[in-house]
């Protein structure tokens, strides 16, 4: 074949680029609501092929058979977002995971913190293969609801690396924590039956990540925001978004509301929630020096997002697992302690905590355990053992006094 014109040379160049260029890949551990309904959108919009890794066979089959699905954005800026250039592999297929990881550009997890140790062997094999092929550094985004998810996965992966190569491989691997704030309600059985891959989400798609944990060059990904003061964003999510959402559930259920957006229309509930956000907001401003106007706009936007009827968030879902949410370092008691440490009186938070302690949901094992402990051992034992508040701590006494006043 002879090329005798500029057009011929151009076509030949395009052909060579087509056969030599490979679409960059993002491995997404977890094909659940956050994986499909949030992270895959960010990767897709950034030009990545998304390789889902999961154990749910029906999901894997649907992804590979169809090769596409639709995210339904509901509420403000409603639209249908098609997600394609996708495929799936089983997360227990160590060889397949290793092969993909060796040549991928980014790895992400959204599986639940208790699953992370089970991913470690396959991730380790992929890192070993990548290292021996002299590939570039790789970053693993951890989109898990656990403060130290990055160190947890790093520790477990380290155990499966050969001692002679361990340090070198770890130096080339970033374990990067992320703060997920997009609200993705659980899909109903009817919705799953209609479309196993479809998912309803809100439009919000910002993903702050820990800039200090990044290794090497980080790919440009839509919505991803590397921040150096990462702890500030973690605590803002926990003590603003998570705190307010849980309290909306407890207050709403206590007054007989089904959905969170209904509870937010109640003047008494909204007033108390506003007071809670004022208390936590002032504490966060003092500790992390957020810009006051920026933080207030964040709070107002959050309340507006809570009003999204299309998400269908129930009060019971928001209130689920009160024992975890009342733990000393979690969204309720943790918020109140932060306030006290920063010199803010947590008056509204104490009211909300007592409401959470009285929460009644027979379908939730955590609630049943909480109420059984209260009935058998009393409030002081619960505050000491479940909430982690010693009897001599002022917050213990404040909650106890409120409990007794409203008995």
Note whether 209 and 262 are same-domain residues. no
pLDDT in tens, 213-269: 999 999 999 999 999 999 999 999 999 999 999 999 999 999 999 999 999 999 999
Q: How many domains does the chain have?
A: 2
Comparing C-alpha atoms, which of 358, 353, 355, 306 is closest to residue 332?
353
DSSP at 259: B
Q: Is the pLDDT of residue 6 over 70?
A: no
Domain that holds residue 338: 231-405
Dihedral sign for Cα atoms in the order 339, 341, 344, 348: positive
d(CA 264, CA 176): 35
Q: What is the pTM of this model?
A: 0.89
CATH code, 218: 3.40.50.720
Got the DSSP string for 295-335?
HHHHHHHHHHHHT-GGG--BHHHHH--HHHHTSTTSTTHHH
Whole-number pLDDT of residue 190: 86
Decide which of 312 and 214 is more confident.
214
Task: CATH number of the domain at 340, please.
Answer: 1.10.1040.10
Residue for token pair 């002022």 = 394
- CB-based contacts of 398, cutoff 8 Å, min separation 6: 346, 350
| Residue 9: per-residue pLDDT | 43
Residues 325 and 341 in one domain: yes
Chain segment 259-311, per-residue pLDDT in tens: 999 999 999 999 999 999 999 999 999 999 999 999 999 999 999 999 999 99
Helix (H, G, I), strand (E, B) or coil at 273: helix
Nearest of 317, 247, 240 to residue 280 by alpha carbon: 240
Does the residue 397 lie in any domain? yes
Looking at the structure, tell me whether residues 366 and 277 fall in a common domain: yes
pLDDT recorded at residue 105: 97
Is 9 inside any structural domain? Answer: no
- The tokens describing 62, both together, are 């649907």
Query: In terms of domains, do 270 and 139 share one?
Result: no
Q: What does the pLDDT read at residue 3?
A: 42
Find the angle CA(197)-CA(203)-CA(204) to the nearest 5 degrees.
115
Say whether both 235 and 221 belong to one domain: no
Question: Is 13 a member of any domain?
Answer: no
| 54, part of any domain | yes
Q: Which of 228, 250, 280 is the last residue of a domain?
A: 228
Is residue 20 predicted with pLDDT exceeding 60? no
Res 188 pLDDT > 90: no
What does the DSSP 8-state code read for residue 213? G
Strands 106-109 vs 173-177: parallel, antiparallel or unpaired: unpaired
326 with 351, same domain: the answer is yes
pLDDT at 1: 36
Q: What are the structure tokens assigned to 251, written together?
A: 């207050």
Higher pLDDT, 127 or 19: 127
Nearest in space to 323 (alpha carbons), one of 355, 380, 365, 363: 365
Of the three residues 172, 201, 228, the one that is the final residue of a domain is 228
| Contacts for 57 with CB less than 8 Å, ≥ 6 apart | 90
| 216 and 105 part of one domain | yes
Domain boundary residue, one of 198, 228, 258:
228
Tell whether 199 and 323 lie within a shared domain.
no
Q: Are residues 102 and 236 in the same domain?
A: no
pLDDT digits (tens, 9 = 90+) for 122-173: 999 999 999 999 889 999 999 998 889 999 999 999 999 999 999 999 999 9
* Angstrom distances, CA of residue 83 to CA of 41, 273, 373: 7, 37, 47
Q: For residues 366-373, give the mean pLDDT.
A: 98
pLDDT for the residue numbered 21: 59
Quick one: pLDDT band at residue 76, thresholds 50, 70, 90? Answer: confident
Do 289 and 185 share a structural domain? no
274 and 384 both lie in a single domain? yes
Q: Could you tell me if 242 and 364 lie in one domain?
A: yes
Is the residue at 6 inside a domain?
A: no
Give the strands of the sheet with 79-84, arranged side by side.
Answer: 79-84, 68-73, 199-201
- Taking 60 as the threshold, does the pLDDT of residue 13 lie above it? no
Q: Is residue 3 part of a domain?
A: no
Lowest-pLDDT range, 3-7, 19-23, 58-62, 226-230? Answer: 3-7
């Amino acid at each position: 074949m002879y090329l005798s014109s500029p057009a011929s040379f151009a076509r030949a160049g395009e052909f060579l680029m087509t056969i030599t260029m490979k679409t960059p890949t993002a491995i997404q551990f977890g094909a659940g609501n956050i994986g499909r309904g949030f992270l895959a959108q960010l990767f897709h919009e950034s030009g990545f092929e998304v390789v889902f890794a999961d154990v749910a066979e029906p999901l894997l089959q649907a992804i590979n058979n169809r090769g596409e699905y639709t995210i339904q954005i509901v509420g403000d800026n409603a639209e249908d977002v098609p997600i394609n250039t996708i495929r799936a592999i089983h997360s227990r297929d160590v060889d397949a995971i290793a092969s993909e990881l060796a040549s991928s550009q980014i790895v992400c997890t959204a599986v639940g913190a208790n699953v992370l140790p089970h991913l470690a062997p396959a991730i380790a094999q992929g890192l070993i293969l990548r290292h021996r092929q002299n590939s570039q550094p790789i970053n693993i985004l951890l989109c898990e609801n656990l403060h130290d998810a990055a160190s947890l996965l790093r520790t477990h992966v380290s155990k499966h690396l050969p001692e002679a190569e361990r340090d070198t491989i770890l130096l080339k691997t970033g374990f990067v924590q992320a703060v997920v704030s997009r609200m993705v309600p659980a899909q109903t059985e009817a919705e799953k039956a209609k479309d196993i891959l479809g998912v309803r989400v809100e439009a919000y798609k910002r993903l702050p990540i820990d800039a200090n944990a990044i290794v090497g060059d980080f790919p440009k990904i839509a919505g991803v925001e590397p921040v150096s003061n990462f702890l500030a964003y973690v605590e803002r999510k926990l003590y603003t978004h998570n705190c307010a959402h849980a309290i909306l559930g407890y207050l709403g259920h206590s007054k007989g509301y089904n959905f969170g957006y209904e509870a937010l229309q109640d003047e008494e509930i909204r007033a108390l929630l506003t007071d809670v956000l004022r208390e936590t907001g002032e504490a966060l401003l003092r500790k992390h020096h957020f810009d006051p106007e920026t933080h207030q706009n964040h709070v107002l936007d959050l309340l507006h997002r809570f009003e999204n009827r299309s998400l269908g968030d129930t009060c019971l879902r928001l209130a689920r697992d009160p024992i975890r949410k009342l733990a000393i370092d979690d969204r309720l008691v943790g918020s109140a302690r932060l306030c006290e440490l920063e010199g803010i009186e947590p008056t509204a938070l104490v009211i909300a905590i007592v409401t959470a302690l009285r929460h009644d949901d027979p379908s939730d094992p955590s609630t049943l355990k909480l109420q059984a402990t209260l009935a058998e051992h009393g409030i002081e034992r619960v505050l000491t053992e479940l909430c982690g508040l010693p009897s001599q701590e002022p917050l213990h006494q404040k909650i106890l006094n409120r409990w007794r006043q409203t008995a």
